[in-house]
């Protein structure tokens, strides 16, 4: 659980493994091991990670719902993190795409409500 949470938090902050490892003072392969659940960070590193990602230790370990993360950031990570070229888009372009997707979802929700109301 910790590894997948670290990966999601890192991607939501648009950081590389190398950037995170430098910020918390460990080697890149050490940090990579944390994300892959091969290694477990000691408590001092866990505090550094929690501070870096602005979460509690409980949240770092998945003991609380993801309310703390911005839902759009979560959607972006889940939908686009594996899309080649996504990270090269400007923040404005990414926001525009997310707004358009949100508008499209609203359209279909309203369409379904109307269809149910007509039945």
Task: Mention the CATH class of domain 2-67.
Answer: mainly alpha
| pLDDT of amino acid 92 | 82
Helix axes of 43-53 and 17-24: crossing angle, nearest 10 degrees: 120
Per-residue pLDDT tens over the stretch 97-112: 887 887 788 888 888 9
| pLDDT of amino acid 109 | 87
| pLDDT of amino acid 68 | 47
Per-residue pLDDT tens over the stretch 45-58: 999 999 999 888 88
Low-confidence ranges of the chain (pLDDT < 50): 66, 68-69
| pLDDT of amino acid 48 | 96
| pLDDT of amino acid 70 | 61
């Amino acid at each position: 659980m910790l590894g997948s949470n670290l990966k999601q938090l890192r991607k939501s902050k648009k950081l590389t493994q190398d950037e995170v490892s430098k910020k918390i003072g460990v080697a890149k392969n050490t940090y990579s091991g944390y994300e892959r659940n091969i290694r477990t960070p000691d408590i001092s590193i866990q505090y550094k990670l929690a501070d870096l990602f602005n979460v509690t230790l409980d949240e770092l370990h998945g003991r609380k719902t993801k309310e703390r993360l911005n839902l759009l950031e979560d959607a972006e990570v889940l939908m686009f993190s594996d899309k080649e070229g996504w990270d090269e888009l400007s923040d404005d372009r990414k926001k525009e795409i997310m707004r358009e997707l949100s508008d499209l979802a609203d359209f279909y929700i309203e369409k379904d409500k109307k269809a149910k109301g007509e039945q």
